[in-house]
Chains A and B, each alone.
Chain A
């Protein structure tokens, strides 16, 4: 195994370790919140999912621009890696939010601006993945993926700022100064842990995409060749 791969696996293991410690602190050490009580402990998985999901959509946006600029397969592989993991985190975010909404708002779902824009974000990026599955040609697939990613990314700043711009049931962002340190630490550890784990997941997904790209390069001449194989050409 190459040194680079070993380093990437260490990211994943380190991430899991931090999440384990952060989860322990969040569940058993952090105090209940003043109004939401024990239910507020969902925050220690909900916020890291939201932060990392949006951060990796931002990375996907950057890789998409690089993909259009340079047309290198590695930028396309990293774009799809960030989007796929982002979609997983986005989906979990909506589920966690729904579970948190039931005891605090009294409903599983509300067409509130934060929830709606988050759902649109999930559908847009899932749409990018669906779109790419329909395109056979690797070069065209990378270009379409990059353009669709840039378009989908328009919703990400909306998700972040909507609670400040419009009236929302969802609370606005807090700062560490307004939160007890017993609550900040599990949040930080889980956020950093999930960040490291996400780097590992994106790297593995990108590796898978690069292998597929290489296989397509090998398969392409065979597909183009007349019946009877290449030896007859």
Chain B
């Protein structure tokens, strides 16, 4: 069954999912901060 198959590799999978989640979360956070700042500036 495992002949010729890469064994293990969960660390790579976890790294890829973590980087993707963190990257998207950071971008969404930056959007929220920028929108809040522009609204604050609008009120000034």
Contact = CB atoms under 8 A, between A and B. Distances in A.
A45 B5 contact: no
Interface residues of A, number: 36
Given A96-B19, A201-B27, A102 B5 contact: no
A204 B17 contact: no
B13 A39 contact: yes
Contact of B38 (A33, A34, A39, A211): A211
Contacts of B38: 208, 211-212, 215
Interface residues of B, number: 27
Given A39-B9, A103-B9, A104-B6, A46 B16 contact: yes
Interface in B9-39: 9-10, 12-13, 15-17, 19-20, 23-24, 27-28, 31-32, 34-35, 38-39
A27 B42 contact: no
A35 B5 CA distance: 4
B13 A35 contact: no
A215 B23 contact: no
